[in-house]
C-alpha cells in the first residue's frame, strides 16, 4: 500500500465534469381553449403532429375574416414545421353541403331559368311588384339592424329602378329604351326575385348536381385566394359530398353506443344522455353557452329551423346528426330514409377517417367554439367512447375593420381579392405577424401602414448589407479583426435570437418575436452608421449572419417565398436573386462610370453634366426599379427596389422640394 501511495504521489487528480448551472431552455406552450390556459405542447406520437382545421363553407367569395384564420394557422403550422421541426400532418375540410349552399344554389338556378324565359318588360315589372309584397313584410319584421340595413338598401335600389321602367312603358317609348330600363330593374331586383322564385318553386329543384355547381366554383376561388396569400395547401383536403357513406356509418355507431335517436326520419344527438354519462360531459369548450338557442339554431341552419323540426327533439339542446331532406334539398340514401348530413357531423366523420380516434390539434375561428366544436367533441367522444378526441384546441381571434365588426350593411365587407388589390400578400402577413394569433386583429389603415413601414425598414437593412457584401475584397479580406463594436453586436445578436426563441415558445408569440427582430435591425443599422462615420468598413461576416438569420425567420413565417440567402425577392412574382446576379454587375459598371463623370464635371465645373448625372439617379433609374444613393467621400450604393416604391419616394421628394423652391424664388425677388 505504501509503495502504491508513493507511485501516485505528485499526480494531478482529474477534476469531475459538471454542467453549467441554471441553464433551462424554454419549452413550447400553446394556449389550449379546452383548459383556457397555456399548456406545454406534447404531441401523442413524438415529433408527429396530427392537425385538423375547419375549412370554409364555399358559397361566396372568401373575405378577410377567413384570411384571419387561414393566414394565422399557416403561420403556426410553418413555425411548428420549420422552426420547431415537428412532422405536421395537416387535414382540412371543405363544407360543400350546407343550408346556405342549398338555398343559394337553388336561387341561382331558378333565377337563371327565369332569365332564359325572356319575359316581357311588363311581365318583369309585374313580377317584381309581386315579389316586393313578401319582401316588404320581411323587411318590416326584421329586427337585426345589420340585416335590416341590407334589405333597406335593396328595396331603395329596386324602387328606384321600377319608376323609370313604368314611365317608359306608359309613354310607349322606343324598344331600346324599354329594354335598357328592364335590364336595369332585373339587375337591381336579382336578390329579391331569387328569394321570391325560391319560395314559389324551390321545392321542385331535386337534381343533386344543381347543388354542386356553386360550391365547386367557390372552392376553386378559395384555393386561388389561398395561393395568392402564400398559404400552404393542406396535406389532405376532405369534402363533405365525398364522405357521405362514412358520415352515415359514423351516425350508426353513435346510435349503437346509445347517444343518438331517430325522429321523423332525422337523427339527433342526445345531449342529456351524453352529459349524464360518467365518462363524458357536454360543452367542454363553452359550458356557459349551453341553452343559447340563438347559437344552437344558427348551428342547425336556416332551412332546418321550423316548429316541426324543433318539436322532433327530446331536448332543445340536441342537434342534428342526419337531416331528413325536404323537397328542394339534395338527398342521399341512409337507414333512416333520404337525407343529408348535419353540419357538425361532417368534421367528426372526416377527421376520424383520416386522423383516427385522437388528434393533437384542432383549429378554427373563435366563433366556432360553440356550438360547432362543442358538438364535434361530444359526438366524436360518443363514437370513440373516449374523452380525448382533441388534445389542444386552437382558436384564432376575431377580425374587425377599423374597429367595427365586418358587415355588408356597414359597407366594410372586404374580400381577400379586394384586400390584395390594395396590399401585397407579404404586407398582409406581416400585419398578422405583428399581432397575437388568438386576439382580435383590427384591419385598418393604421395596421397596414405599420406593416408597410416594417417591411420597408427590413428591406432597407437587407439592401445595405447586400451592398456591403458586394464590395470587392480577396478571400482573406472577408475576415476582418473583431473589435469591441463587433463583439458587442454579435452578443446582442445571440441575445435577440434567444429572445425570439423564448417568444415563439410562449404560445408562438410572433408579435414579440417581430419586435425583437426589429430591435436587432436597429442595432445593426447603428453599427453600420458608426463604422461609416469613422470611414471604416463594417464587418461583413457578422452582418451576413444577422441578415441571413432574419431572412430565414421571415421564410419560416411565410413572409419570404424564395431561395435568396438574404432579403426579399427582387423583381416581383416569380423572380428572385437571379435578377440581382444578372443585373448588378452592369449597374455597378454604370455607377463607377457615373462617379468618374461626376468627378471630372466637378473639377471642370460643368454643371450641365452634373445635372444629367442627377437626372439619371432621380428620374431615369427609379423607373427601372434601381436606386443610386450618393454618399460624400464613399462609393455610390446600388440597390434594386420595386419600381412602385421608388416612384412613390420620388413623388414625396418632389412634394418636399416644391415649397422650398417656391420660397427660394420668392426671396430672390422679381427678375430684371
Tens of pLDDT, residue by residue over 426-465, are 999 999 999 999 999 999 999 999 999 999 999 999 999 9
Question: Which DSSP string do the residues of 152-176 spell out, in sequence order?
Answer: HHHHHHHHHHHHHHHHHHHHT--HH
Pair 547, 583 in one domain: no
**Cβ distance 387 to 381 under 8 Å?**
yes
The residue from 492, 522, 557 where one domain ends is: 557
- In this structure, is residue 522 part of a structural domain? yes
Cβ count near 657 (within 10 Å): 10
**Cβ distance 191 to 153 under 8 Å?**
no
* Closest C-alpha among 620, 615, 652, 621 to residue 638: 621
Number of domains in the chain: 2
Is the pLDDT at 471 greater than 90? The verdict is no
The confidence score (pLDDT) of residue 657 equals 67
Q: Burial-class residue 600 by CB neighbours within 10 Å (0-12, 13-18, 19+).
A: exposed
> What's the CA gap between 349 and 450, in Å, rounded?
43
Q: What is the mean pLDDT of residues 583-589?
A: 79
N-terminal to C-terminal alpha carbon distance within the chain: 117
- In this structure, is residue 259 part of a structural domain? no
Is the pLDDT at 649 greater than 60? The verdict is yes
- In this structure, is residue 154 part of a structural domain? no
**Cβ distance 288 to 417 under 8 Å?**
no
- Per the prediction, the chain carries an average pLDDT of 90
- In this structure, is residue 44 part of a structural domain? no
Pair 653, 589 in one domain: yes
The confidence score (pLDDT) of residue 645 equals 81
Is the pLDDT at 468 greater than 80? The verdict is yes
Pair 529, 595 in one domain: no
> What's the CA gap between 274 and 380, in Å, rounded?
11
Pair 626, 527 in one domain: no
Is the pLDDT at 594 greater than 50? The verdict is yes
The residue from 528, 557, 586 where one domain ends is: 557
- In this structure, is residue 111 part of a structural domain? no
Pair 473, 519 in one domain: yes
Tell me the CA distances in angstroms from 444 to 447, 457, 509, one per residue in order: 5, 20, 21
**Cβ distance 628 to 640 under 8 Å?**
no
**Cβ distance 228 to 420 under 8 Å?**
yes
Host domain of residue 635? 578-668
> What's the CA gap between 231 and 201, in Å, rounded?
41
Pair 546, 624 in one domain: no
Pair 485, 542 in one domain: yes
Q: What is the mean pLDDT of residues 154-158?
A: 92
- What's the pLDDT band for 552 if we cut at 50, 70, 90? very high
Question: Which DSSP string do the residues of 572-611 spell out, in sequence order?
Answer: STT--THHHHHHHHHHHHHHHHHHHHHHHHHHHT-HHHHH
Is the pLDDT at 574 greater than 70? The verdict is no
The residue from 557, 590, 611 where one domain ends is: 557
Pair 582, 552 in one domain: no
- In this structure, is residue 281 part of a structural domain? no
Pair 457, 544 in one domain: yes
> What's the CA gap between 568 and 458, in Å, rounded?
9
Pair 530, 587 in one domain: no
> What's the CA gap between 300 and 344, in Å, rounded?
9
> What's the CA gap between 232 and 90, in Å, rounded?
10
- In this structure, is residue 622 part of a structural domain? yes
Percent of the chain with pLDDT over 90: 66
Higher-pLDDT residue of 578 and 142 is 142
Pair 543, 474 in one domain: yes
The confidence score (pLDDT) of residue 625 equals 81
Task: Tell me the per-residue pLDDT of 13-45, one tens digit each, with 9 for 90 and over.
Answer: 777 888 888 778 899 999 999 999 999 999 999
- What's the pLDDT band for 7 if we cut at 50, 70, 90? low
- What's the pLDDT band for 669 if we cut at 50, 70, 90? low
Task: Characterize 390-408 residue by residue with b for buried, 16 or more Cβ atoms within 10 angstroms of its Cβ, and e for exposed.
Answer: bbbbbbbbbbbbeeeebee
Pair 650, 589 in one domain: yes
HSE-CB for 388 with a 13 A CA cutoff: 6
Ranking 38-42, 62-66, 464-468, 593-597 by mean pLDDT, the lowest is: 593-597
- In this structure, is residue 313 part of a structural domain? no
Amino acid at each position: 500500500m505504501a509503495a502504491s501511495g508513493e507511485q501516485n504521489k505528485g499526480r494531478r487528480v482529474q477534476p469531475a465534469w459538471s454542467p453549467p448551472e441554471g441553464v433551462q431552455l424554454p419549452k413550447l406552450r400553446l394556449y389550449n381553449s379546452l383548459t383556457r390556459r397555456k399548456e406545454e405542447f406534447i404531441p401523442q406520437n413524438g415529433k408527429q403532429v396530427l392537425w385538423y382545421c375547419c375549412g370554409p363553407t364555399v358559397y361566396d367569395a372568401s373575405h378577410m375574416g377567413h384570411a384571419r384564420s387561414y393566414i394565422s394557422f399557416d403561420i403556426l403550422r410553418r413555425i411548428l414545421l420549420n422552426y420547431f421541426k415537428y412532422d405536421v400532418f395537416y387535414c382540412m375540410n371543405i363544407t360543400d353541403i350546407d343550408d346556405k349552399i342549398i338555398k343559394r344554389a337553388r336561387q341561382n338556378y331558378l333565377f337563371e331559368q327565369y332569365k332564359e324565359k325572356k319575359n316581357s318588360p311588363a311581365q318583369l315589372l309585374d313580377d317584381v311588384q309581386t315579389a316586393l309584397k313578401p319582401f316588404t313584410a320581411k323587411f318590416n319584421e326584421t329586427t337585426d339592424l345589420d340585416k335590416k340595413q341590407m334589405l333597406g338598401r335593396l328595396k331603395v335600389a329596386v324602387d328606384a329602378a321600377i319608376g323609370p321602367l313604368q314611365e317608359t312603358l306608359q309613354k310607349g317609348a322606343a324598344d331600346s329604351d324599354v329594354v335598357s330600363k328592364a335590364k336595369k330593374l332585373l339587375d337591381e331586383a336579382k336578390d329579391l326575385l331569387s328569394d321570391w322564385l325560391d319560395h314559389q318553386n324551390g321545392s321542385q329543384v331535386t337534381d343533386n348536381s344543381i347543388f354542386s355547381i356553386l360550391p365547386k366554383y367557390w372552392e376553386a376561388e378559395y384555393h386561388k385566394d389561398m395561393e395568392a396569400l402564400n398559404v400552404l395547401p393542406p396535406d389532405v383536403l376532405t369534402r363533405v359530398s365525398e364522405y357521405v357513406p362514412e358520415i352515415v356509418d359514423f351516425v350508426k355507431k353513435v346510435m349503437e353506443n346509445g347517444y343518438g335517436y331517430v325522429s321523423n326520419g332525422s337523427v339527433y344527438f342526445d345531449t342529456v344522455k351524453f352529459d349524464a354519462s360518467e365518462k363524458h360531459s357536454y360543452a367542454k369548450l363553452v359550458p356557459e353557452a349551453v341553452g343559447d338557442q340563438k347559437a344552437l339554431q344558427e348551428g342547425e341552419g336556416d332551412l332546418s329551423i321550423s316548429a316541426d323540426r324543433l318539436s322532433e327533439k327530446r331536448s332543445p339542446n340536441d342537434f342534428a346528426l342526419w337531416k331528413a331532406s325536404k323537397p328542394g334539398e339534395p338527398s342521399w340514401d341512409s337507414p333512416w330514409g333520404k337525407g343529408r348530413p348535419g353540419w357538425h357531423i361532417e368534421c367528426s366523420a372526416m377527421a376520424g377517417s383520416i386522423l383516427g380516434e385522437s388528434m393533437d390539434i384542432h383549429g378554427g375561428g373563435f366563433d366556432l367554439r360553440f356550438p360547432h366544436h362543442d358538438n364535434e367533441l361530444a359526438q366524436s367522444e360518443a363514437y370513440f367512447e373516449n374523452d380525448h378526441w382533441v388534445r389542444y384546441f386552437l382558436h384564432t381571434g376575431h377580425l374587425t375593420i377599423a374597429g367595427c365588426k365586418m358587415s355588408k350593411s356597414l359597407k366594410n365587407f372586404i374580400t381577400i381579392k379586394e384586400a390584395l388589390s390594395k396590399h401585397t400578400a407579404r404586407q398582409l402577413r406581416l400585419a398578422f405577424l405583428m399581432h397575437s394569433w388568438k386576439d382580435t386583429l383590427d384591419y385598418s389603415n393604421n395596421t397596414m401602414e405599420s406593416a408597410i413601414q416594417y417591411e420597408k425598414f427590413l428591406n432597407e437593412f437587407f439592401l445595405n448589407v447586400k451592398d456591403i457584401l458586394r464590395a470587392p475584397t480577396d478571400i482573406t479580406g472577408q475576415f476582418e479583426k473583431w473589435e469591441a463594436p463587433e463583439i458587442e453586436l454579435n452578443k446582442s445578436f445571440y441575445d435577440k435570437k434567444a429572445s425570439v426563441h423564448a417568444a415563439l415558445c410562449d404560445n408562438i408569440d410572433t408579435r414579440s418575436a417581430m419586435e425583437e427582430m426589429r430591435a436587432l435591425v436597429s442595432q445593426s443599422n447603428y453599427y453600420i452608421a458608426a463604422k461609416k462615420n469613422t470611414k471604416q468598413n463594417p464587418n461583413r461576416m457578422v452582418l451576413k449572419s444577422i441578415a441571413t438569420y432574419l431572412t430565414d425567420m421571415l421564410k419560416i413565417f411565410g413572409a419570404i417565398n424564395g431561395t435568396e440567402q438574404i432579403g426579399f425577392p427582387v423583381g416581383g412574382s416569380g423572380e428572385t436573386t437571379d435578377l440581382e446576379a444578372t443585373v448588378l454587375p452592369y449597374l455597378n459598371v454604370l455607377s463607377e462610370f457615373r462617379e468618374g463623370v461626376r468627378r471630372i464635371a466637378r473639377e471642370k465645373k460643368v454643371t450641365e453634366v452634373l445635372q444629367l448625372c442627377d437626372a439619371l439617379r432621380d428620374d431615369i433609374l427609379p423607373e427601372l426599379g434601381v436606386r443610386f444613393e450618393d454618399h460624400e467621400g464613399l462609393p455610390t450604393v446600388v440597390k434594386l427596389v420595386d419600381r412602385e416604391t421608388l416612384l412613390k419616394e420620388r413623388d414625396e421628394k418632389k412634394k418636399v422640394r416644391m415649397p422650398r423652391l417656391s420660397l427660394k424664388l420668392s426671396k430672390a425677388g422679381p427678375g430684371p
